[in-house]
Amino acid sequence: MASVPRIQLNDGHSIPQLGFGVFKVDPDETTRIVSDALEVGYRHIDTARIYGNEAGVGAAIAESGLQREELFITTKLWNDDHSRALDAFDASLERLGLDYVDLYLIHWPSPKDDRYVEAWQSLEQLRESGRARSIGVSNFLVGHLERLLAETDVVPAVDQIELHPAHQQPATTAFAEEHGIAIEAWSPLGQGKYPLFELPEVAGAAATHGKSPAQVVIRWHLQRGHIVFPKSNRRARMAENFDVFDFELSEAEMGAITALEREGRVGSHPDD
């Protein structure tokens, strides 16, 4: 089984660069799907309270027989919990059946509520307690990050943002790099909402390397240094998305895919 590279975080911990995401995975099917992912070889699972499937993730972990230290588990604080983050975290841990998570994120800044600084201070306490080994944010743009850096003590370990070839968020990634914040790319395949896989830059590289277009896009992320967790309910695709460590895109192939930027957001805007 391929060994997945780890990315060093700014707090001394490290994270497997390739994981498995469970957004829109039906709670009733989650245990089967995450069990498949663990059997395929994934050891990093990305869930969230709002996905409603933390309990299914926890059941798959319990059934797997894997040691807790072999796994990297992320969950997230939902917007309506910013003022009660400690309780929300306890509830997530209980649903997961774990006594710590590897990474806890503020899911969205939700600026209309203006409570993300308060939420972050609670996450700082959770990190201090060791029950969240690392803490980070998601969907934070430069302004939100600047405010955290100015008003709180701990620099987020990661920022999990929408990022795929059509939407690369150069301002946020540059700011994150400058401050030692690792980038997690959500919807790394653009959720299949635009014809990414048919584009000649992607399909051509796939043909050259004898790989699929999805594998080429995942490889592009890995070579850019992003942490990714593509989602699929199908075991064959989980295996395909994991089988990305036996080829390398050339500089020209990387450049051609990077040039596909078109501000093509598929999810919500963080300010909304």
Q: Does 79 bind ligand NAD (CB under 6 A)?
A: no
Phi, psi at 215, each rounded to 5°: -65, -35
The reply on whether position 56 binds ligand NAD by CB under 6 A is no
To the query of whether residue 51 is one of the catalytic residues in this protein, the response is yes
Decide whether 111 or 267 has the Cβ nearer to ligand NAD.
267
Residue nearest ligand NAD, CB atom distance: 21
Phi, psi of 8 (to 5 degrees): -75, 130
CA separation for the pair 3, 245 (Å, rounded): 8
The answer to whether residue 270 forms part of the interface with ligand NAD (CB under 6 A) is no
Q: How far is the CB of 57 from ligand NAD (least distance, A)?
A: 11
- Kindly tell me which of 130 and 237 has the beta carbon lying closer to ligand NAD: 237
Using CB under 6 A as the binding rule, whether residue 89 contacts ligand NAD is answered as no
Judged by CB under 6 A, the residue of 103, 163, 214, 260 near ligand NAD is 214
Does the footprint of ligand NAD cover residue 173 (CB under 6 A)? no
| Site size for ligand NAD (CB under 6 A) | 25
From residue 140 to residue 159, what is the string marking binding to ligand NAD with x (rule CB under 6 A)?
A: --------------------
Instruction: Name which position in 75, 138, 169, 173 contacts ligand NAD (CB under 6 A).
Output: 138
Cβ proximity to ligand NAD: between 242 and 252 the closer is 242
- Applying CB under 6 A, the residues found at the interface with ligand NAD are 21-23, 46, 107, 138-139, 160, 186-192, 212, 214, 229-232, 237, 240-241, 267
- Catalytic residues, by residue number, are 51
